[in-house]
Amino acid sequence: MSNLSVNYLGLALKSPILAASSGLTAQLDRVAEFERAGVGAIVVKSLFEEQIVNEAEFLNSQSHDYPESADYLHHYLRQNSIDRYLKLIEDVKRTVSVPVIASINCFSTGEWTLFAKEIESAGADGLELNIYSLPLNVHKKSDDIEKEYFNVVSKVSKSIGIPVAVKIGSNFTNIPGFVSNLKANGAKGVVMFNRFYSPDIDIKKLRIFPADAFSHPDEYLKELRWMGIVSALVPGIDLSASTGIHNGTVVLKQILAGATTAQMCTALYKKGGDAISNAIADLNLFMDSQGFKNISDFKGRLNYSNIENPEKFERVQFMKSFGSK
């Protein structure tokens, strides 16, 4: 048997496969199932900023004869969302013995430092910040938007003792530069990449509808390219692959590209804990056949700095590959 253990964000994990944040990781029977299947850590469903802000906005939109009662309700509802979340963290911690990573889904600096402290007190072993806002202001500078990310990360990581990972989307001009700045602002890890809900258009009914929330098994190549590049250019930060991790082969590809862990979401919805146990069996088979004893024996072996022709990661124009066809 190979040794599948890894160190992610300073946490000792028995395997590199994580259950990604989703509705499944808010269910105690499912997290127990994932632990039995060999998961390395659980990333709990996110506490969403909207859960807190929208309730407050709804209240503000109502007319109140007694403003102080609105204030009270506002405080009560907000605290209720947070308390429910803290209870969830405590329950998940009680259910599994693997590390439990809480998740906050936010788009502004807000009061996250306060919530982060409470999450730490509830027993979370780490915190994943999923920061995203869809920029709609044509006058706003990209630099200013990126600064907001660094601000949140810096404030939150300074205020708590548990490690912070940042889950990012892929829409940044300079991904290695952005990750390097996240690291400089206190992030111990980066999750690449979040997969966003996308609108699609129904041409028969002439309406917008949400595209599939689940990824397809071949949806991992963009993530693989950036894993290979970022792991080489930004050493000293743990990278976790997200999107399209449907089987052990893709987990192995991401580790070869430099990932420390790989997070499964769609695969868990489709196959449950079997997705994890099958991937672990594939990892063991691969390591036995290649003579690798530990994950560190092959982690990053095919990243941007370790291959003979790094331009294979750089090639983005069809001209170069298909120019003569």
Ligand X SMILES: Cc1cc2nc3c(=O)[nH]c(=O)nc-3n(C[C@H](O)[C@H](O)[C@H](O)COP(=O)(O)O)c2cc1C
Residues that bind ligand X (CB under 6 A): 20-23, 45-46, 103, 105, 130, 167, 194-195, 213-215, 242-245, 264-267
Phi and psi, residue 189, nearest 5°: -155, 160
Q: Residue 233 and residue 134: Cα distance in Å, rounded?
A: 27
Query: 42 or 232: whose CB is closer to ligand X?
Result: 42
- Please check whether residue 25 is in contact with residue 39, taking contact to mean a CB–CB distance below 8 angstroms: no
With respect to ligand X, which residue has the nearer C-beta, 59 or 265? 265
User: What is the nearest approach in angstroms of ligand X to the Cβ of residue 156?
Assistant: 15
Rounded-to-integer distance, Cα 150 and Cα 280, Å: 35
DSSP assigned state of 107: S
Closest contact distance (angstroms) between CB of 75 and ligand X is 24
Q: Which is nearer to ligand X, 19 or 234 (CB)?
A: 19
**Cβ closest to ligand X, residue 15 vs residue 243:** 243
Smallest distance from the beta carbon of 225 to ligand X, in angstroms?
16
Name the DSSP letter for residue 123. T
Task: Between 76 and 214, name the residue whose CB sits nearer to ligand X.
Answer: 214
Please give the Cα distance from 182 to 26 (Å, whole number): 28
- CB of residue 236 vs ligand X: minimum separation in angstroms? 24
Q: State which residue has the least CB distance to ligand X.
A: 215
CB of 67 to ligand X, least distance (A): 33
